[in-house]
Amino acid sequence: MAQEADLKLLLYEALNSEFGIEVQTSNCAALRQKLYQVRAKEQKAGNDDFNGLAIHLSPEDPEGKLWIEKQGKDHGKDKSEEGDT
């Protein structure tokens, strides 16, 4: 399994991306749990950088892909495309 430093790099990669990242893994549940643990440890240390990230299973491939997304993003959807005229 990934080292803590590697897990933090994944979280920072998601944080620095426009919307988040998709991670391919052989064990989504274990990776998600480890990412939650790293985030909690960072919060205890006073680092709130990762608070705006949501960690969840990909709806397209819940057994093979994990999404680390920025919360509150509309994933590039233009507001005019949502029916607001």
Residue 84 makes CB contacts below 8 A (sequence gap 6+) with none
Q: For the whole model, what pTM was predicted? A: 0.79
Query: Is position 15 within any domain?
Result: yes
Whether 54 maps to a domain, the answer reads yes
The pLDDT of residue 27 is: 95
Question: Does 78 map to a domain?
Answer: no
Q: For 20-54, how does the pLDDT look when each residue is reduced to its tens digit (9 = 90+)?
A: 999 999 999 999 999 999 999 999 999 999 999 99
pLDDT in tens, 8-21: 999 999 999 999 99
Query: Would residue 85 count as lying in a domain?
Result: no
Sign of the Cα pseudo-torsion (46, 48, 51, 55, in order): negative
